[in-house]
Amino acid sequence: MQNSAKNFFSKLGIDARLLGMVGALVVLWIVFDLITGGRFLTPRNLFNLSVQTASVAVMATGMVFVIVTRNIDLSVGSMLGFIGMVVAAIQVQVLPDVLGLGHPLIWIIGVLLAISMGALLGAFQGWVIGYLTVPAFIVTLGGFLVYRGAMWWVTKGQTQAPLDATFRLLGGGAEGTLGETLSWVFGVIAAVAAVGIMLMSRRRKSSHGFTVKPVWAEGILMGLAGGLIICFVWVMNSYPIAKGAMKRIAAADGIELTEGMVWYHGVAIPVVILLAVTVCMTIVAQRTRFGRYVYATGGNPEAAELSGINTRLLTVKIFALMGALTGIASIIASARLNAVDVGLGTLDELRVIAAAVIGGTALSGGFGTIYGAVIGALIMQSLQSGMASVGVDAPLQSIVVGIVLVFAVWVDIVYRRRAGL
């Protein structure tokens, strides 16, 4: 029985680690749902969970590359705060005076500034690590302190709010979603794309004469991928927008509200950003030279260098990418809160590292997947939100998360040893 199940999954080509992570997530959700008496697995809670996960998950995809190359980045939380503060201060104090309040360029400038600031700061850290050969732990520990301090100097500790109305959409909330119709369009396109990619890869493989998965296995995978996407959109489209928010939106758009009218959220914009980042990063990891070099360098830095890979420049690029993703995460986090205070991003570096590690990224280098890190972030956030909704005290939450982190890595080590990796 056990053997036939193993055979089934190996034919599907799903590895045990992914299965374990998804299993853990499902168990977690069901347990919290039972304890809360059905309050966990509701469209409302799942919507919030997806939005809360986005910021950390975006950074976790970048942290995979950092950790795969045997580095670490402790600065992302502080960097997120610093970038958030600069971008917020500019859109609250500078741009409205120059361009006028609510000018459509404000959010674009904010987004570009956040991403380029992150890339530059990251590239600088990567240069110190790669070319001056200061260990990443030290460089980013320095960054952790510097950015948190710098953040305070930007506004002398003053909280910046409210942010630009368009910018705010990037953080989710009632307005910051695709809305019902667009969500369906998005879901259908994504599902078709997922199935299409699988079909194309299958055709390419068989044209080279490689053995491909059995048709039924491929069919199940395609059904799963398409079904999950549609299912997700359906859940997001089942979360009604509260009356107050509806009135606000209707007033802004000049729509007459009638009695009995119900609008639904749909997929939140930060989640769309996260999905786009995940797809891009997966392509980078699996289909580009850069990604190949990241994994090769992580597996054997000496071999990578002897193969002519410029590992120093690679380090700069990896940290620049990490920084750019931190910039994106900073946009999401600050837009969601519609304010930036000096505490923004505190402890995020540890959440991000934990997400990547729970997702199967090995600190010894060479192993780690993008989807794993995203699922890792989702597990972390589910655990925290779930405990909060059950009414677990904050101190106990930390204790549980800490224990889960160590336990997850231990399980991963045992799995690796058994699998002979």
C-alpha distances out from residue 255 to 237, 246, 261, 280, 284, Å = 20, 10, 12, 37, 43
Q: Which of 369, 352, 368 is nearest to 405 (CA)?
A: 352
Among positions 354-373, residues that touch other proteins (CB under 8 A) are 366-367
Cα four-point dihedral sign 313, 318, 323, 327: positive
Taking the least distance from each CB to other proteins, the nearer of 66 and 79 is 66
Task: Out of 277, 309, 320, 383, name the contact with other proteins by CB under 8 A.
Answer: 309
Taking the least distance from each CB to other proteins, the nearer of 103 and 202 is 202
Nearest approach in angstroms of CB 198 to other proteins is: 15
Report whether 213 contacts 13 (CB < 8 A). Answer: yes
208 sits near other proteins (criterion: CB under 8 A): yes
280 sits near other proteins (criterion: CB under 8 A): no
Nearest approach in angstroms of CB 276 to other proteins is: 18
Q: Which of 226, 252, 229 is nearest to 241 (CA)?
A: 252
**Which ranges in 131-264 belong to alpha helices (H)?**
136-155, 165-168, 179-207, 215-236, 243-253
Nearest approach in angstroms of CB 47 to other proteins is: 34
Task: Out of 7, 93, 181, 288, name the contact with other proteins by CB under 8 A.
Answer: 288
Cα four-point dihedral sign 316, 321, 322, 326: positive
Task: Out of 6, 205, 243, 247, name the contact with other proteins by CB under 8 A.
Answer: 205
Taking the least distance from each CB to other proteins, the nearer of 51 and 318 is 318
Taking the least distance from each CB to other proteins, the nearer of 240 and 299 is 299
Taking the least distance from each CB to other proteins, the nearer of 169 and 212 is 212
**Rounded to an integer, what distance in angstroms lies between the CA atom of residue 299 and that of residue 295?**
6
Task: Out of 289, 391, 395, 417, name the contact with other proteins by CB under 8 A.
Answer: 289
Q: Report the half-sphere exposure of 78 (CA within 13 A, side-chain side).
A: 18
4 sits near other proteins (criterion: CB under 8 A): no
- DSSP assignment of 92-103 equals IIIHHHHH-TT-
Taking the least distance from each CB to other proteins, the nearer of 5 and 421 is 421
304 sits near other proteins (criterion: CB under 8 A): yes
287 sits near other proteins (criterion: CB under 8 A): yes
In this structure, what DSSP letter does residue 40 have? S
**Amino acid identity, residue 128?**
V
Taking the least distance from each CB to other proteins, the nearer of 4 and 210 is 210
Task: Out of 37, 104, 308, 395, name the contact with other proteins by CB under 8 A.
Answer: 308
Q: Which of 363, 283, 358, 337 is nearest to 55 (CA)?
A: 337
Taking the least distance from each CB to other proteins, the nearer of 221 and 230 is 221
7 sits near other proteins (criterion: CB under 8 A): no
Region of 50-58, 224-232, 267-275, 294-302 interacting with other proteins (CB under 8 A): 294-302
Residue 391 region, left (φ>0) first, then alpha (ψ -120 to 50), else beta?
A: left
Nearest approach in angstroms of CB 209 to other proteins is: 8
296 sits near other proteins (criterion: CB under 8 A): yes
H or E element at residue 383: helix 370-390
- Total residues at interface with other proteins (CB under 8 A): 30
- CB within 8 Å of 265: residues ≥ 6 apart: 43, 47, 174, 177, 179, 236, 237, 239, 240, 241
Binding site for other proteins (CB under 8 A): 204-205, 208-210, 283, 286-289, 291-292, 295-300, 302-309, 366-367, 420-421
